Amino acid sequence: MKNFGKIIRINLLIMLAYSLIALAITWSAVKSGEPYAGLTYALLMMYVIILHSLVVLIIMIIKFVKGEKELGMSYLLSLFVIGIVGFSSCSGGSALFT
């Protein structure tokens, strides 16, 4: 599992990038007086996390089919980390804007 740290790092940096973009979008909604800014953030993050998870799932399946079991396992564990961190950031972010 020598590639596990690299794969996790890349996926967490991708999550950080779209979390900051979602935060900026939600912050502009707060400034304009949007009463449901927390829900806006939660839904936006939910859709992006689902899309990110689907991409990682497809990559994982391809790696397993090609016989690269070590990379497939790294992507599988990365998928779990994306789910845990993504759910936490979605819940915490929605509570931040309520």
Structure confidence by residue, pLDDT tens digits, 83-93: 999 999 888 88
Q: What is residue 22's three-state secondary structure?
A: helix
Per-residue pLDDT, averaged over 31-52, amounts to 89
Angle between helix 37-65 and helix 4-31 axes, rounded to 10 deg = 160
Which residues, 6 or more positions from 2, have their beta carbon under 8 angstroms from its beta carbon?
Answer: 70
Per-residue pLDDT, averaged over 57-80, amounts to 94
Per-residue pLDDT, averaged over 65-94, amounts to 91
For 79, half-sphere exposure in the C-beta direction (CA atoms, 13 angstrom radius) is 17
The answer to whether the beta carbons of residues 9 and 81 sit under 8 Å apart is: no
Domain residue extents for the chain? 4-96
Predicted pLDDT of residue 20: 92
Neighbours of 40 (CB within 10 A): 19
Confidence of residue 94 (pLDDT cuts 50, 70, 90): confident
List, for residues 2-17, the tens digit of each pLDDT value. Answer: 788 899 999 999 999 9
User: Is pTM beyond 0.85 here?
Assistant: yes
